[in-house]
Structure 1
Amino acid sequence: MENLESPLVVCKDNSFESQKRFGKDEVLAEVKQQLLLAGPLVSVNFLLFALQLISVMFVGHLGNLALSGASMATSFASVTGFSLLRGMASALDTLCGQSYGAKQYHMLGIHLQVALIVLLLASVPLAFIWANAASILLFFGQDPEISAEAGRYARFMLPSIFGFAIQECHIRFLQAQNNVVPMMVISGFTTLLHVLVCWILVFKSGLGNKGAALANTFSYWTNALLLTLYVRISGSCKKTWTGHSMEAFYCIPKFLRLSIPSAIMLSLEIWSFEMMVLLSGLLPNPKLETSVLAISLNTCSTIYMIPLGLSAAISTRSSNELGAGRPRAAFLAVCVTMSMVMTEGIVVGTVMISGRKIWGYLYSEDEQVVKYVGQMLLLIAVSHFIDGIQSVLTGVARGCGWQRIGAMINLGAYHLIGIPSSIVLAFVYHLGGKGLWTGLIVALTVQASCLAMVTLRTKWEEEAKKAVNRATSSWGAMLS
């Protein structure tokens, strides 16, 4: 193993307990640092989220069957592939972030290689699942015609899962170094190119909705290759990427101990939201309920990109500061991000409530749908505020390496409390889609409350010691 670059003084903030008050200059400096980090990350989230959205929008011009198939395939891909890989890659938030803070720069490259090995291997069975999407959807009772269309779409999108895995690993690698502007530029280029590629493959090539699936594959691979090229040739990554090394294989057990709970933590949440749309199909007037739930989920997912960027920012800031042995700075970062996300939640919620009577017209001209969407926006505003809080606290959990705790909390919040609450409110008390969404609010509240209790009870000096030990331990200690 390479020699440590510099000795670390663990927990330099010896007066942490007696100095929990922060000066104005400290707070303003932290706010500035987080805005410079979160701004590009929010942009990256929006741009990458737009890839699937743009494809579905193009397919929407081909007819209802093509649109239904593409929408179902996109949802299937998210549940059975993208969410799992994104969750596994988030282990790098802990490993790369703390190593960067501890100035163990060469370890970032090692962790990146480990993540690439594990995620690409995991993509193989996930690709097999995608290849059999039609049969799986039929097994779960979906419409045969739509299932067949979704299966074709998923097969043509299959290679994108490998590009997505590479992309996510490099995003986390760069994010841990606060090197986010290049990601924003590359994502912007990819998204603009995606519009052109979609137009050519959907309308000009005669491929129809299969062309949209191929466009997704092209764009994910383009983004992945550009990020890979940047990391390999950029001078800003000279210390953190030092070439391929066999040492990466020794870190696989350590990575799996964090990546598996990370995948569970994220997937349990995403699966719950997707399940709401499936349950809406069992309600009276399923056409109306499913349409409104789909619009609500799309709205919620779009505005969630803002707190998701703040979540990534606090994950980076907390892991960097803990890895550097600065618990007081990590605590300040958490306080600042919480204040920012609560402010954002209030502002965005107010805008949604103010525009609730017209928002539905962006999706439909049906007055019944528009009115129902307006009622749902009141609930979405509440859920967005709570979702922002849990998102930031989840970012803190990733930065500190609490993925196992997060997975257990999410299991209880969503699958033991949230979904049963949704079912009771929707089907027993006959609240329909509003009941389903209220159950999600219950789950988010439980999740946020549990994560808040864990965060408030945290002894930051001990977390800093753990982070420094994790970042600087010998290979033998890593494997123990």
Structure 2
Amino acid sequence: MNQQVSGGDGDEESRGGRWWKRMLDMEEAKKQVLFALPMILTNVFYYGIPLVSVMFAGHLGELQLAGATLSNSWASVSGYSFMVGLSGALETLCGQGFGANQYNMLGIYLQASSIISFIFSIIISILWFNTESIMILLHLDPQISKTASVYAKLLIPGLFAYGFLQNILRSFQTQSVVMPLVVLSLPPLVFHIGITYILVHMTSLGFKGAPMAASISLWMSVLMLVMYVAFSKEFKNTWKGLSSESFDYFFTTLKLALPSAAMICLEGWSFEILVFLAGLMPDKKQSTSLIAICVHTETVAYMIIYGLSAASSDSSAIIKKFASMTTLLAISIVLDCVQGVLSGVARGCGWQQIAVYVNLASFYIIGMTIAILLGFKFNLHAKGLWIGLICGLSCQAATLLVITLRTKWTKLDISANVDKENSLSV
């Protein structure tokens, strides 16, 4: 009898142990952390380049801070987010190629995606060159619009670099080459801090020196990665040099790049549109700067470091109002981290088109409507705009979670392998 009881306890412990193993695979969790941490640091270092420029510009005055933050938001809305999205095609294509041991295709896909980024960079540059006219059409303050336009025009060279940079990062990521990225991403940031200080404070460029420094540092980042690919043995099987074959895969890559860009942009735009809406409020300079600082902080926090952009201003009024936003900001940070993981699952599973509709409904039909009502109708101003964003994030995260939980993972894995074999055998 005692033996039976003892055996029952053992079975119960065994079942409990198996249950915990199903809930948390420590070995897999360790692998994910070791892979994710270098990518987190890399993203923070590269994101720090345009952010540092905004900080230096912001210390020149309230107008310069408003112009730089508005311009940086405009750059994110119309350029940076789009470049990140376009490069998302490589997560699927290079991931399939690497998994199927078709290593030579990774270099081909990288070139095809880079061509796409270059073409769209030209188109976006035309928009950036007409920043002042566009902002005035949106009824933003003329003085701030002019300042933002000066900043945006000098960021144009950096846009091309940013597009190439994102493609190379995706290529590294799909090959699990992540540790070198940390080493290669830190020097450009350190260099950028120095050159920004020199151009802003030690030359006659002043405000113009901040965006110029960002463009220089972004190109430095690209050149360092290109040199590493060219001379590292890690890429001897995946990079065979420039090839005209990349044009054959242009439209194949484009078909994945555009939905991926739409998915990223619909989410990213919802953050940056708040900055433009803030520019329509009575206290334009402070409202624009406050919301922009919150957006920068949210982005950095999304990469596991936050609070950095509070250094963007010397204005005690802005810092005080920013402090009053911290509770709302904390809520949005948590939600943003959750949706970030779920969005990654969506991209990995090829659900980009579904995610586009989810993001469109969550951020624009629900979130933006609430933001405008609370911000302007109920006079909650910046807090109202941010509450609307929180509502959008909540809807997006909840919807993606339901989709993820209802997915038949075994079936998906089998179908993905079949698709992989078929697509790469062509």
TM-score normalised to structure 2 length: 0.88
Contact between 2:140 and 2:279, CA under 8 Å: does it hold in 1? no
**Residue matched to 1:331:** none
Partner residue of 1:417 out of 338, 361, 366: 366
Q: Quick one: which amino acid aligns to residue 205 of structure 2?
A: L
Q: Quick one: which amino acid aligns to residue 278 of structure 1?
A: F
Offset at 1:35? 1.1
Q: Quick one: which amino acid aligns to residue 277 of structure 1?
A: V
**Residue matched to 2:274:** 276
Partner residue of 1:75 out of 73, 76, 80: 73
Offset at 1:391? 0.5
Offset at 1:222? 0.7
Offset at 1:30? 0.9
**Residue matched to 2:407:** 458
**Residue matched to 2:162:** 164
**Residue matched to 1:54:** 52
Please list the CA deviations of residues 78-97 of structure 1 after superposition, one character each: whole Å capped at 9, or x if unmatched.
11111111111112112212
Contact between 2:55 and 2:311, CA under 8 Å: does it hold in 1? no
**Residue matched to 1:12:** none
Q: Which moved more, 1:397-406 or 1:70-79?
A: 70-79
Q: Quick one: which amino acid aligns to residue 392 of structure 2?
A: A
Contact between 2:73 and 2:275, CA under 8 Å: does it hold in 1? no
Partner residue of 1:189 out of 182, 187, 190: 187
Offset at 1:305? 1.4
- How far apart, in 2, do the equivalents of 1:375 and 1:419 lie? 21
**Residue matched to 1:436:** 385
Contact between 2:65 and 2:289, CA under 8 Å: does it hold in 1? no
Contact between 1:104 and 1:472, CA under 8 Å: does it hold in 2? no
Offset at 1:44? 0.9
Please list the CA deviations of residues 102-129 of structure 1 after superposition, one character each: whole Å capped at 9, or x if unmatched.
3222221121111111111111111111
Alpha-carbon spacing, 1:282–1:141, altered in 2? closer, same or farther (3 Å):
closer
Alpha-carbon spacing, 1:61–1:449, altered in 2? closer, same or farther (3 Å):
closer
Contact between 1:360 and 1:369, CA under 8 Å: does it hold in 2? no
Alpha-carbon spacing, 1:152–1:466, altered in 2? closer, same or farther (3 Å):
same
Q: Percent identity?
A: 40
- How far apart, in 2, do the equivalents of 1:69 and 1:304 lie? 24
**Residue matched to 1:473:** 422
Contact between 1:91 and 1:398, CA under 8 Å: does it hold in 2? no
Q: Which moved more, 1:21-30 or 1:221-230?
A: 21-30
Please list the CA deviations of residues 207-262 of structure 1 after superposition, one character each: whole Å capped at 9, or x if unmatched.
12222222111111111111111112211111221233333222222212211111
- Aligned residue-pair number: 408
- How far apart, in 2, do the equivalents of 1:72 and 1:434 lie? 18
- How far apart, in 1, do the equivalents of 2:37 and 2:386 lie? 29
Partner residue of 1:114 out of 112, 118, 124: 112
1:28-427 mapped onto 2 (5 Å cutoff): 28-283=26-281, 285-286=283-284, 288-306=286-304, 366=316, 372-427=321-376
Q: Which moved more, 1:78-87 or 1:143-152?
A: 143-152
Offset at 1:73? 1.9
Please list the CA deviations of residues 408-438 of structure 1 after superposition, one character each: whole Å capped at 9, or x if unmatched.
1111111111100112223334433222211
Pairwise CA RMSD: 2.6
Contact between 1:46 and 1:305, CA under 8 Å: does it hold in 2? yes
Contact between 1:360 and 1:374, CA under 8 Å: does it hold in 2? no
Alpha-carbon spacing, 1:178–1:114, altered in 2? closer, same or farther (3 Å):
same
- SS of structure 1 residue aligned to 2:355: helix
Please list the CA deviations of residues 3-35 of structure 1 after superposition, one character each: whole Å capped at 9, or x if unmatched.
xxxxxxxxxxxxxxxxx9674898121111111
- How far apart, in 2, do the equivalents of 1:151 and 1:144 lie? 10
**Residue matched to 2:4:** none
Alpha-carbon spacing, 1:63–1:422, altered in 2? closer, same or farther (3 Å):
closer
- SS of structure 2 residue aligned to 1:104: coil
Alpha-carbon spacing, 1:73–1:248, altered in 2? closer, same or farther (3 Å):
same
- How far apart, in 1, do the equivalents of 2:425 and 2:251 lie? 12
- How far apart, in 1, do the equivalents of 2:397 and 2:350 lie? 17
- How far apart, in 1, do the equivalents of 2:330 and 2:208 lie? 36
Please list the CA deviations of residues 296-355 of structure 1 after superposition, one character each: whole Å capped at 9, or x if unmatched.
223222211139xxxxxxxxxxxxxxxxxxxxxxxxxxxxxxxxxxxxxxxx9xxx9xxx
- How far apart, in 2, do the equivalents of 1:63 and 1:249 lie? 48
Contact between 2:54 and 2:312, CA under 8 Å: does it hold in 1? no
Contact between 1:250 and 1:475, CA under 8 Å: does it hold in 2? no
Alpha-carbon spacing, 1:216–1:64, altered in 2? closer, same or farther (3 Å):
same
Alpha-carbon spacing, 1:441–1:474, altered in 2? closer, same or farther (3 Å):
closer
Offset at 1:174? 0.1
- SS of structure 1 residue aligned to 2:304: helix
Alpha-carbon spacing, 1:36–1:204, altered in 2? closer, same or farther (3 Å):
same
Offset at 1:475? 6.7
Please list the CA deviations of residues 377-396 of structure 1 after superposition, one character each: whole Å capped at 9, or x if unmatched.
11111111111111101001
Please list the CA deviations of residues 352-408 of structure 1 after superposition, one character each: whole Å capped at 9, or x if unmatched.
9xxxxxx97995664x65554344211111111111111101001111111111111
Q: Quick one: which amino acid aligns to residue 29 of structure 2?
A: V
- SS of structure 2 residue aligned to 1:473: helix
Q: Quick one: which amino acid aligns to residue 134 of structure 2?
A: I
- How far apart, in 1, do the equivalents of 2:191 and 2:371 lie? 40
